[in-house]
Amino acid sequence: MTPVCVCVCVSVSPCRPFLVLPPLMEWLRVSVAHAEHRRSFSVDSDDVRQAARLLLPGVDCEPRQLKYDDFCASRKLDAASTEAKFLQDLGFRMLNCGRTDLVKQAVNLLGPDGINSMSEQGMTPLMYSCVRGDEAMVQMLLDAGADINSEVPNTVHKYPSVNPETRLGTPLTFAVLHGHVPVVQLLLDARANVEGSLQDGMENYTETPLQLASAAGNFELVSLLLERGADPMVGTVCRNGISTAPHGDMNSYSLAAAHGHSVCVDVNICVCRCTHLCVCRCKHLCKHLCVCVCVSGVPWTLHTWLESLRTCFLQHRRPLIQGLLKEFSCIEEEEYTQELITHGLPLLFQILRASKNEVISQQLSLIFTQCYGPYPIPKLSEIKRKQTSRLDPHFLNNKEMSDVTFLVEGKPFYAHKVLLFTASGRFKSLLANRPAAENTCIEISHVKYNIFLLVMQYLYCGGTEHLHIRNTEVMELLSAAKFFQLEALQRHCEIICSKNINTETCVEIYSHTKFLDVPDLAVYIEGYFLKNMVVLIELEPFKTLLYDTPPDSPATDVLLDLEKTLGVRIQSIHLSSSKGSIV
């Protein structure tokens, strides 16, 4: 590699416009890269300015003025390649002199690609004419068949002198960049792509013409491009030279505001329903439009945030949705009004249901956890209900003194009608219409013998104090208690289940709970989901529960149940007369 001479003068300022500046070696690396692209042996001040455009997003540096390079003979070429290169260079020079009468002769010299041939900078004759603002030459080249939407290549393999700042640039891009309004008008009339090289559905890593016009503060160009359908919401994913992680999504509003062009911000607002300025965190309603306006220090109102989010969701603006969801933390808790329950939660869960995007899911999970609040999940309390009659545990499963026999898993279990008649409506219906004098035999199916024994122990002992329930038995006992309509025993099982809930077991317990139709325990687990959703959303079982539950499953709409539970929680904490009463 040829050594490069670097001479940079930096004046020290007491105030730093950027909190974190790139290291000196990174400045040198990017500046040297610009010099090498120009095939220069020294770094000039313009190379440093172009490095600043990459390393400091939003910095107001004039782009490098482009011109056709002199013919370079330093490359090792054979005779035929040298002749072809010389003729192409002559063709470009003839076109760059502005003589429209030489177009035909020049095209014949350019090579096999003709009018659309590219120089080592990756630029076509039409691009150079747009840089110069030569309206007559632009029209002549278009008439000769020049590709109006040609792009500067994104590689240096075939075109070694491609400037990093011009990659993916189109003729319209260069005309806007240099402020040539008549040429821009001409290109747009000829159906040039108003968004430059941007294609629908693709991430944008280069500025659109509207972004360039907004950054330059060219009101006339901004108005013209908007009139022709340019999208002011398109953002460029900026990447610095140190890492590949995106560190900003700069759209036309961001660039206009960052460069202090308030007029361009206003004209963008006039043609768009919703905007989001990446450079500010200040918002309010403007007339009948939902608009983000740069007024420093003013937080979001809930209504404005919701309407902005709704508009972005309807327009499928994923980057803006992510930006707005991130801003939810700026909304004060005093803003948690009934509108959040009636309009906000349905919208948020609709986005979660439709998006299935990992970043958006994480952001929504954080919002749900924030809305649920830091207070503990409301505990399930025991039901204190005295039985109207009870027997000594000595009579439990005692054949000699029993008057009713249950057949469970083929084994007899002996009991007493006087106790069971008053225990629950289920036992009463099982014993109804049975001869009182005979020892009645009733078959119990779907209940295991050891579970039925626990049920009878609860009845004969008069409570749950003497029960020893294993964790492996609790769900079956819960099912049996619900079947025999023993509410106090059912609630005791629910409390045991609530204590066994963790990130590994919560989904399985919830599925059983929904199958058994136990609403109080289901609400408790939904509270656990909401309180720990940031962690749970990363786990496959939980994602399957949210998105891939079979249609015939009892938990068919978990998201709707979560929405209802969160709405009740917000109502009790922030809107009820006795706030926080549920905790």
pLDDT at 182: 93
Cβ-contact 194, 188 below 8 angstroms: yes
Cβ-contact 453, 489 below 8 angstroms: no
Q: Does the pLDDT at position 21 exceed 80? A: no
Q: What is the DSSP string of 156-214?
A: SSS-TT--GGGTT--HHHHHHHTT-HHHHHHHHHTT--TTTT--TTS---S--HHHHHH
pLDDT at 561: 92
Surface-to-core class of residue 296, CB atoms within 10 Å of its CB (0-12 exposed, 13-18 middle, 19+ buried): exposed
pLDDT at 290: 37
pLDDT band at 40; cut points 50, 70, 90: low
Compute the distance between CA of residue 315 and CA of residue 311 in angstroms, rounded to an integer.
Answer: 6
**What would the pLDDT profile of 412-456 be if each residue is shown by its tens digit?**
998 888 888 888 888 888 887 666 555 668 888 889 999 999 998
Compute the distance between CA of residue 190 and CA of residue 326 in angstroms, rounded to an integer.
Answer: 41
Compute the distance between CA of residue 476 and CA of residue 484 in angstroms, rounded to an integer.
Answer: 12
How large a percentage of the chain has pLDDT more than 70?
75
Compute the distance between CA of residue 170 and CA of residue 212 in angstroms, rounded to an integer.
Answer: 13
pLDDT at 102: 76
**Distant-in-sequence, close-in-space partners of 118: CB < 8 Å, separation ≥ 6:** 124, 153, 159
95 CB-side CA count, 13 A: 40
Looking at residue 17, the DSSP 8-state letter turns out to be S
Among 211-215, 374-378, 518-522, which stretch is predicted with the lowest mean pLDDT?
Answer: 211-215
pLDDT band at 74; cut points 50, 70, 90: very low
**Which residues on neighbouring strands pair with residue 441, listed in sequence order?**
405
Compute the distance between CA of residue 382 and CA of residue 374 in angstroms, rounded to an integer.
Answer: 24
Q: Does the pLDDT at position 211 exceed 80? A: yes
pLDDT at 337: 87
Q: Does the pLDDT at position 190 exceed 50? A: yes
Compute the distance between CA of residue 348 and CA of residue 506 in angstroms, rounded to an integer.
Answer: 23
pLDDT band at 362; cut points 50, 70, 90: very high
Surface-to-core class of residue 525, CB atoms within 10 Å of its CB (0-12 exposed, 13-18 middle, 19+ buried): buried
**Crossing angle, helix 519-531 and helix 558-570, to 10 degrees?**
80
Domain ranges of the chain: 5-50, 57-178, 341-377+477-583, 388-462
CATH architecture of the domain with range 388-462: 2-Layer Sandwich (3.30)
Q: Does the pLDDT at position 42 exceed 60? A: yes
Q: Does the pLDDT at position 198 exceed 60? A: yes
Cβ-contact 237, 249 below 8 angstroms: yes
3-state secondary structure of 412: strand
Please give the average per-residue pLDDT across 127-132, as a whole number: 88
Q: What is the mean pLDDT of the chain?
A: 78
Q: Does the pLDDT at position 258 exceed 70? A: no
**Distant-in-sequence, close-in-space partners of 2: CB < 8 Å, separation ≥ 6:** 41
pLDDT at 18: 53
Nearest to 187 by CA among 222, 230, 135: 135
Surface-to-core class of residue 34, CB atoms within 10 Å of its CB (0-12 exposed, 13-18 middle, 19+ buried): buried
pTM recorded for the entire structure:
0.56
Return the higher-pLDDT residue of 264 and 146: 146
pLDDT at 416: 85
Return the higher-pLDDT residue of 19 and 99: 99
pLDDT band at 498; cut points 50, 70, 90: very high
How large a percentage of the chain has pLDDT more than 90?
24
Q: Does the pLDDT at position 396 exceed 70? A: yes
pLDDT at 16: 47
Compute the distance between CA of residue 266 and CA of residue 253 in angstroms, rounded to an integer.
Answer: 9
Among 240-244, 533-537, 548-552, which stretch is predicted with the lowest mean pLDDT?
Answer: 240-244
pLDDT at 75: 52
Q: Two tokens at 505?
A: 């077991």
Please give the average per-residue pLDDT across 186-200, as a whole number: 87
Compute the distance between CA of residue 515 and CA of residue 430 in angstroms, rounded to an integer.
Answer: 24
Among 289-293, 460-464, 503-507, which stretch is predicted with the lowest mean pLDDT?
Answer: 289-293
| Fold of the CATH domain 57-178 | 1.25.40
Alpha helix positions (H), 408-473: 417-423, 425-431, 449-461
pLDDT at 20: 63
Return the higher-pLDDT residue of 2 and 233: 233
**Distant-in-sequence, close-in-space partners of 51: CB < 8 Å, separation ≥ 6:** 27, 30, 31, 34
Q: Two tokens at 3?
A: 């050594």
Cβ-contact 232, 272 below 8 angstroms: yes
pLDDT at 550: 67
Among 242-256, 264-278, 343-357, which stretch is predicted with the lowest mean pLDDT?
Answer: 264-278
Surface-to-core class of residue 493, CB atoms within 10 Å of its CB (0-12 exposed, 13-18 middle, 19+ buried): buried
pLDDT at 343: 92
Return the higher-pLDDT residue of 138 and 403: 138
Cβ-contact 128, 96 below 8 angstroms: yes
